Structure 1
Amino acid sequence: MNRALDHLYIFAMVFLTAYSQVVMRWQVGHAGNLPVGLPGKIQFVIGLLLNPWVISGIIATFFAGVSWMLALTKFQISYAYPFTSLVYMLVLASGVVFFRDGVNAGRLVGTAVVMAGVLIIARFG
């Protein structure tokens, strides 16, 4: 049972990282186009950094790092690291659901291959 609970560190990292990426995409999309001049770019970035949603994404990234450190106390990196690819799958699915990003056969097949790889490592790793 402890080994199953140890995986929560990995899955917390995956969820927090995916959350951060989706929130950043959402808020950058709301912020509009990046201005051309340097002063406008600086103001644009400062505005994003003061946005509560962006701050939550930064905090999530920090705690994803903490979760990853805790996971590495329980697992070899060669076992744990492939699970990071689950972030890609969550972000891909979130992009489709929330942002109507396009998905083609290549992305679906690639995602299935990655998922199969993670399952094999989780089962036999």
Structure 2
Amino acid sequence: MKYIPFILFTVLTNAAAQLMLKQGMMSLGPISMTAETAIVRLFQIVFNPWVFAGLATFVISMASHLYVLSKVELSFAYPFLSLAYVAVAFFAYFIFREDLNAWRIAGIAFICVGTVLIAQSGMSSHSDEKPADAAGARTADFGSKS
């Protein structure tokens, strides 16, 4: 399917945003707030360079996801976002030295198998048809004559 690269871009930017947010929060240390310091602490968090970059990357990821949703079925596109779990787990292992044990690897394998099955289902679907509206009717192409 021709929209897989856009879907994968969405997945990778989503995962990158998570990694940046984690780096930012690690650089800030544990959060402890009182009512008096909550606003100041919130600004410290949001304007931390890593957190800010992560939030900006989420915006890019969402814009990409909205583009994808305008082109393919939600039930096809959305499950691909689970691949972000896979990317985050592997990058967190290498960057943050987080645990990647047998249970997590098994879960990652299940996610990958499920995503492959969903991708296969999209190959034979109505990918060249116009998307359906909420009632299931195909949207009209007002610019062409039928």
Return the TM-score normalized by structure 2. 0.77
TM-fit CA distance, 1:45:
2.2
Task: Select the structure of larger CA radius of gyration.
Answer: 2
For the 8 Å contact 2:33–2:41, the answer to whether it is kept is no
Q: How does 1:17-96 map to 2 (within 5 A)?
A: 17-96=14-93
Which residue pairs with 1:98 in the alignment? Answer: 95
Q: What secondary structure, in the 3-state scheme, does the structure 2 residue paired with 1:33 have?
A: coil
Equivalenced residues, count = 122
- Once residues 18 and 39 of structure 1 are traced to their aligned partners in structure 2, the CA distance between those partners, rounded to angstroms, is 34
1:16 corresponds, among 10, 13, 34, to 13
Whose RCO is larger (CA < 8 A, sep 6+)? Answer: 1
What is the CA deviation profile of residues 66-97 of structure 1, one whole-angstrom value per residue up to 9, with x for unaligned ones? 11111012211111111000011111111111
TM-fit CA distance, 1:36:
4.1
Q: What secondary structure, in the 3-state scheme, does the structure 1 residue paired with 2:72 have?
A: coil
For the 8 Å contact 1:28–1:48, the answer to whether it is kept is yes
One-letter amino acid matched to 1:93:
F
TM-fit CA distance, 1:32:
0.9
For the 8 Å contact 1:13–1:64, the answer to whether it is kept is yes
Q: How does 1:98-117 map to 2 (within 5 A)?
A: 98-117=95-114
Unmatched segments (≥5 aa) in structure 1: none
Percent of aligned positions with the same letter in both sequences? Answer: 28
2:4 corresponds, among 4, 7, 17, to 7
One-letter amino acid matched to 1:8:
P
- Once residues 88 and 38 of structure 2 are traced to their aligned partners in structure 1, the CA distance between those partners, rounded to angstroms, is 26
Larger helix proportion of the pair: 1
For the 8 Å contact 1:34–1:41, the answer to whether it is kept is no
Please provide the CA RMSD for this pair. 1.4
Which runs of at least 4 in structure 1 moved beyond 4 Å after TM superposition? none
One-letter amino acid matched to 1:95:
A
